[in-house]
Structure 1
């Protein structure tokens, strides 16, 4: 049996990963105007791969290009961000319910292993923010795909997914928040493993509602500026 070809990253892939990480982690801030010359120098990139990466980031909704104004990192207002979380609460609740009904036992075991890896990341970061560069390694990404609801997954994993990811990273820097979120994730997975769709939906909605309330608090305290 022939071996599958080894996939290697192109320079454009490397540039894309580098810039996406910079956007999600806030190294490139929401609303920041960016130029090719500066990016090449700042991230040690060349023009060709950079331009391809910028196009991909623009299609993903992380960059906005305006005529005569250049390119800037996407940003949302506080009210828009809170609305995104309200939308997530409903949609991801449904995804969790359907994941409980449709994920395979192997997928659930993999999901539990993912959370074990997340716990190690949190410990290594001493409870501060951690970031999974690969989207399919992310807990919420796995739940969405595990729902087997193609349209729902497309909506959750499109612009909404990557925009929320930017702000979720910034909020996860709150002391103790990563450990709290991990505990909530484990309870959701246990409900999925028990094939209790209603409980999985309830726990996921409560999890995202808690995140939204945390955002509101940080905005009111002036800790999170948008």
Structure 2
């Protein structure tokens, strides 16, 4: 069963969540240079919890420490981002296939309920965005864990996962994309529920390939800042 019960947060956890969400949503843009004092004032944080949060974000590869000059938000080039999506297409396709073979019925029911909550979030955002919190609230995370493939999930949910999350939200704001992405997620989940691994793999690969083509289009248009 997917564990989605709320947990008590420390001030450092709250600071971490605040900053990570700001990075994912682009409020702290890729390549932006930031300092502790500025962050304290901007996000109403105190120094102790902030420093712990910054260390955790650095360990996830979302921030780069600059000696005697604060931090910089991690950034990738267009070519690097497209390569990340090509890697995702292969690896997450395999994860979806194995999830269809290995997830139990209760986990699949949880996955369907998760997508119901996602649909509600998209509606609340008036169809303008599809933001997924990390971990058990994230469809792609649940598929990786459901694969029961430890090595595969370690690769998908390590630095690759956190880097990709920086761009997934901004890419989801294209007109019509939140609804399409949610519909594609439901199709993948239905294939998993039917225990059709080959179909789940195909649908996941097509889903991520569509996202990669969207990235290529935005880069050519100059509408995606990397």
Q: What's the TM-score bracket when you normalise by the shorter of the two chains?
A: over 0.9
Equivalent residue of 1:72, what SS?
strand
Equivalent residue of 1:86, what SS?
helix
Contact 2:93 2:202 in 1 (8 A): yes
What displacement does 1:132 show? Answer: 2.7
Equivalent residue of 1:175, what SS?
coil
1:129-208 to 2 correspondence within 5 Å? 129-208=129-208
Question: Which residue does the alignment assign to 1:72?
Answer: 72
Aligned residues: 221
Q: CA RMSD in A?
A: 1.2
CA 1:7–1:141: 2 relative to 1, 3 Å: closer
**Which residues of structure 1 form unaligned runs of 5+?**
1-5
**Structure 1 Cα separation of the partners of residues 17 and 180 of structure 2:** 28
**Structure 1 Cα separation of the partners of residues 7 and 223 of structure 2:** 42
What displacement does 1:68 show? Answer: 4.2
Question: Which residue does the alignment assign to 2:3?
Answer: none
Contact 2:65 2:72 in 1 (8 A): yes
CA 1:7–1:213: 2 relative to 1, 3 Å: closer
**Which residues of structure 2 form unaligned runs of 5+?**
1-5
**Structure 1 Cα separation of the partners of residues 120 and 96 of structure 2:** 24
Contact 2:36 2:70 in 1 (8 A): no
Q: TM-score, normalised by structure 1?
A: 0.95
